[in-house]
Chains A and B, each alone.
Chain A
Amino acid sequence: MGAVAAPWRALARQGHRSEETGSSDIWALRDASFEVADSEVFGIIGRNGAGKSTLLKLLSRIVMPTTGRAIVRGRVGTLLEVGAGFHPELTGRDNVYLSGSILGMTREEITRKFDEIVDFSGVERFLDTPVKRYSTGMYLRLAFAVAAHLEADILIVDEVLAVGDAEFQMKCLGRMQAVAGEGRTVLFVSHNMAAVRSLCHRACVLDTGRIVRTGDVHDCIGYYLQWHVDRQDPVIQFDTPAGRGPRMTSAVLLCEGRPAIRILMGNILGIQVSFRSDAPLHVPRVGFIVTNEAGAAVLSANNRYQSSPRYDTPVQSGTISLELGAVPLMPGRYSVSLFLGDAPGHDSHVAEHALWFEVLEQDLWGTGLGPDSGASQLWWPTRFHFSL
């Protein structure tokens, strides 16, 4: 029987613990009450610093709550980091035993599962080599293999899937799905919405230490994606002082036709630019550059290089729609810089990093796997055909 019933009223504070409750205290978690039923796979979603890790650490007893209460029925296994307790000087075999026992397995359990663990890791040839001589990939595979064979009623898992190469990630995800299918209770934290969606039944959304939504996993993911307008606006208004040449008055980022700053991979993206010009013009020249977080320009377009529509009668104001289609952007944060001018080679209004948006991972192909963001800056929708 594995279930967590956690009527948290208020939980741990970061930093010093003292009896006085001054206003300078920051609560890592507050008003976070929820229940997880036996053999349910429960996702915990939230931004960095929302309190997800604190919640997992409280439930696995790594940190102690300042106040509040949790009731846990069944044996808890914690997987917050792959390779917890691994020691570089010890051999692979020794580390399986050491890490396994730190995670809470008995010697007999490890012995019983030893072959399975080694088989899963694929490092049997190097079992008697100190792990300090392992490659990173081998090390991670062995470490995950130990964790994946932990026999617990309740598994508390934090992002451990994000290890190794694509092939091993697939194996990890498959193993997690198998664990979930065995009727074990799982609490799962991840930034990877694709993984959360494919693994979890129910979820909760955490924001600054509070649970803002609990329920069906699709509902929670949808809520999480929509509710970030506080960070930045999908609309930007420009001050338009009188000047030579056309000026932008406002610009909007559109996802599937609606203003948005968070989009899922593969969503249809659009930009709408409103402009004003003292001198009437036939063809406003407009362009954009999408820049990733590292500052690299990854996408751009400008109607000065392609055949462009034109206003039959010159206008002094109007709106331009840029339809980008389904952009092959990897998950991450991007900014959009906008350029407007009245003649090729002359920009009368440059708005660098005017709009901001975030691309979130989505299970594009129903495999639970996203494209490998280490391989390229863009993913490309490609059809594969096999023939003899």
Chain B
Amino acid sequence: MPATDSKRSLHRAESVDDSVLEILPEHGFPKLGLKELWRARHLFQFFVWRDIKIRYAQTVLGILWVLLQPMATMVIFALVFGRLAGIPSDGVPYPAFVLVGLVAWTFFSSAVVAATNSLVEQANVIGKVYFPRLFVPLAPIASGLLDAGIAVTLMVPVLAILKLVPSLGPLLLLPLLFLVAAGAAAGVGAGLAALNLRYRDFRYLVPFLVQGWMFASPVVYPTSLVPEGYRLLYALNPMVGVIDGCRWAILGTPAPGIALVGISAASAAVLLLIGCFYFRWAERTMVDVG
């Protein structure tokens, strides 16, 4: 009975035991199917690896783009918002201030956009073979995390030129902050991916959503510009806690406060759950509507 061989791990869901699968219609509230995701984790690794390979195939500068992109935007924003509009920047040079915001923001926004489009791009595979579909929108988030890690690493020497050398302690908290951003991006991305498969209108809507979201986050301006009474409400946007945390960790700006970061993290967790559950619910008819 080879099916019980522990080395074999085909994607199986609610099996009665390890070798018997019962296929039944699903009604009511969806299950996340974490067990199944864990079993097929090697497939997730392959998806992430593929994303990375494809993204930099036939580019000359390759991985350097992860920092070049936000730096190009930084130049524009520094001129427009820093020079012309004179937006304050919590006591650090505006270019550095906006670059840190942009690195965090670029991770979030490109992860959301990539996740949204992922399902439509792979609609054909989804109709031909079964695997845990949640991997499809989640893979670009994970590969984006890797990009973000490289961007941050490359950014530190760039900032050092501006005589901004971060201290090591707070820097170690950066991965946690990026995980919060990844959770929010995963929830939003998974939800939008399912919606996009059903209603292709989302392809046109998402760029506006992302742009609006950027101005609702402290990318080009500091949170200190938001009236104090509204800051915790403002922190419901997960990127508020993430970006403020990143600036504190990298640039040594005033610490954002536990409450603000906590609200952002909780909000990210809620978005993650809503997005994933919605995706699992939509998955029931995904192949039919795709």
List the count of A-B residue pairs having beta carbons below 8 Å apart.
Answer: 121
Number of chain B residues close to chain A: CB under 8 A: 37
Does B35 count as interface, using CB distance less than 8 angstroms?
no
Q: Which of B25, B50, B58 contacts A65 (CB 8 A)?
A: B25
Question: Which residues of chain A come closer than 8 Å to B126, judged between CB atoms?
Answer: 62
Bound-state CA distance A16–B23 (Å) is 20
Does A70 count as interface, using CB distance less than 8 angstroms?
yes
Assess A60 versus B130: contact at CB under 8 Å? Given A106-B9, A106-B42, A108-B7: yes
Does A78 count as interface, using CB distance less than 8 angstroms?
yes
Bound-state CA distance A153–B5 (Å) is 12
Q: Which of B7, B10, B23, B53 contacts A94 (CB 8 A)?
A: B53
Bound-state CA distance A109–B42 (Å) is 12
Residues of A in contact with B, size category: 35 or more
A87 touches B54 (CB 8 A): yes
Question: Which residues of chain B come closer than 8 Å to A296, judged between CB atoms?
Answer: none
Assess A101 versus B25: contact at CB under 8 Å? Given A85-B129, A151-B8: no
B22 touches A71 (CB 8 A): yes
A101 touches B42 (CB 8 A): yes
Chain B CB within 10 Å, residue with most, of A71, A76, A85, A89: A85
Q: Shortest distance in angstroms between A26's beta carbon and chain B's nearest beta carbon? A: 12
A74 touches B46 (CB 8 A): no
- Which candidate, B92-100, B242-250, B254-262, B281-289, is the interface stretch facing chain A? B281-289
Does B13 count as interface, using CB distance less than 8 angstroms?
yes
Does A125 count as interface, using CB distance less than 8 angstroms?
no
Bound-state CA distance A13–B21 (Å) is 22
Bound-state CA distance A14–B1 (Å) is 36
Does B26 count as interface, using CB distance less than 8 angstroms?
yes
Question: Looking at chain A's contact residues, is the secondary structure mostly helix, strand, loop, or mixed?
Answer: loop
B13 touches A62 (CB 8 A): no
Does B157 count as interface, using CB distance less than 8 angstroms?
no
Does B209 count as interface, using CB distance less than 8 angstroms?
no
Question: Which residues of chain A come closer than 8 Å to B287, judged between CB atoms?
Answer: 57, 62-63
Q: Which of A16, A76, A151, A152 contacts B21 (CB 8 A)?
A: A76
Assess A103 versus B19: contact at CB under 8 Å? Given A61-B13, A74-B3: no
Question: Which residues of chain A come closer than 8 Å to B22, judged between CB atoms?
Answer: 69-72
B10 touches A75 (CB 8 A): yes
B127 touches A62 (CB 8 A): yes
Q: Which of B19, B24, B125 contacts A69 (CB 8 A)?
A: B24
B10 touches A59 (CB 8 A): no
Question: Which residues of chain B come closer than 8 Å to A130, judged between CB atoms?
Answer: 57
Chain A CB within 10 Å, residue with most, of B8, B9, B46, B129: B129
B284 touches A64 (CB 8 A): yes
Q: Which of A17, A151, A152 contacts B284 (CB 8 A)?
A: A17
- Contact string against B for A residues 95-136, beta-carbon threshold 8 Å, 1 for contact and 0 otherwise: 001100111101111000000000000000000001000000
Does B225 count as interface, using CB distance less than 8 angstroms?
no
Q: Shortest distance in angstroms between A59's beta carbon and chain B's nearest beta carbon? A: 7
Does A15 count as interface, using CB distance less than 8 angstroms?
yes
Does A278 count as interface, using CB distance less than 8 angstroms?
no
Q: Which of B3, B58, B128, B284 contacts A81 (CB 8 A)?
A: B128
A102 touches B7 (CB 8 A): no
In the complex, chain B residues 82-136 whose Cβ is within 8 Å of any chain A Cβ: 125-131
Question: Which residues of chain A come closer than 8 Å to B53, judged between CB atoms?
Answer: 89-90, 94
Since A61-B23, A73-B3 are in contact, a sample of 16 more A-B pairs with Cβ atoms closer than 8 Å, ordered by chain A residue number, is A16-B285, A17-B284, A57-B127, A60-B130, A62-B129, A64-B25, A75-B2, A78-B128, A84-B125, A101-B42, A104-B11, A104-B129, A106-B9, A106-B42, A109-B7, A153-B2
**3 nearest CB pairs, A to B:** A104-B10, A61-B130, A70-B23
B interface with A by C-beta (< 8 Å): 1-3, 7-13, 19-26, 42-43, 46, 50, 53-54, 57-58, 125-131, 284-285, 287-288
A interface with B by C-beta (< 8 Å): 1-2, 14-17, 57-78, 80-81, 84-85, 87, 89-90, 94, 97-98, 101-104, 106-109, 130, 151-153
* 15 A-B pairs (CB sep. < 8 Å): A1-B2, A2-B3, A17-B284, A57-B127, A58-B23, A62-B128, A62-B287, A69-B23, A70-B22, A74-B3, A76-B10, A101-B42, A102-B131, A152-B10, A153-B3
